[in-house]
Amino acid sequence: MGAHALDPGLDDLAASARAALVREIEASGAWAADPVWREAFEAVPRHLFVPYYYVGVLGGYERMWGEDPDRRRRERWLRGAYADAPLATRVRDGELLSSSSQPSLMAKMLTELAVRDGHTVLEIGAGTGYNAALLSYRLGDDLVTTVDLDPEITDSARRHLATAGHHPAVVTGDGARGVPERAPFDRIIVTCTLTSIPRAWLPQCAPGARILGPLATGLIALRVRDGRHAEGHFLHTPAFFVPLRGDTPPEPEPPQLDGLPHRARTDDLFRFLLTLTAGRLDPYEAYVLWEREHQPTRERFGVTVSGADAWAWLDDPAAPPGGRHRGPGTG
């Protein structure tokens, strides 16, 4: 039984599970601004992109498989494939290398990408190929490019996409360097956590292009002015993804938070601020700023990229909080 075929009777289960997932995403309001994405999620079968995945169990991972000899476990695999949850799809020595993102977050990101007919899109992080299939359904194969560093990941993504009837460009390479031979791009969507905004992307973007991706536990939406300048706000949505591998700066050492109040040490938004300023802002200074500004939420922050320089700011791009902060989050 191949990845394209299901046991008799499981086709109905797949259809009902996919319909339930679409209703759940719709109820979340993820695509309220662009309901055409509903058609894509209705049409693209997620189970074709996760013929197996891993479920965390005590001491490691349990593999769920679409060709498990036990029918009940196959049914469990199929239901899990349509859960509104991220799925671990590639694990090596206990380290998560690749995953299929939570569908409602994917829908939110695709909506925020604000694509229009005719737009060219570069996806950084091929994953299972599911996101590229949704983009291909919306825009057409010729306008979609997805890139990943790992040839095993791109090979499997290409197979999954072909099984689902889609043939976008799937490139094996360092996503931080983009895909210049397929440029220019109207949109870049990133499905792995960034430690900075790779400068190679900007010259590959058309003027006015939009870059959307996870940065500092948030989602940054940048507008590209030209090959050296981009700027934008974070969305309200938190986001946690597998890190981008390749030619990227290393993640900073976690800051020491001893001496700060308990709520600061445990608050997600305060940790976002610390990650955004990459430890270049002393944690106590960050705490004073956080309190003075009434514990600002993600969407009050933004990032400006200008040539070799970049900085995070609060409310006003001309007034970065406490000065300009380089490093992870800003480059």
> Catalytic residue numbers?
98
Whether the Cβ atoms of residue 64 and residue 56 lie closer than 8 Å to each other: no
Whether the Cβ atoms of residue 272 and residue 216 lie closer than 8 Å to each other: yes
Determine the Cα–Cα distance for residues 188 and 157; give it in Å rounded to an integer: 18
| DSSP characters over 229-268 | EEEEEEEEEE---PBPPSS-PPPPPPPP-TTS-HHHHH-H
Both structure tokens of 267: 């608050």
Determine the Cα–Cα distance for residues 267 and 263; give it in Å rounded to an integer: 6
| DSSP characters over 31-56 | TTT-THHHHHHHHS-GGGG-SEEEEE
Whether the Cβ atoms of residue 300 and residue 292 lie closer than 8 Å to each other: no
Both structure tokens of 200: 């190679």
Determine the Cα–Cα distance for residues 191 and 101; give it in Å rounded to an integer: 8
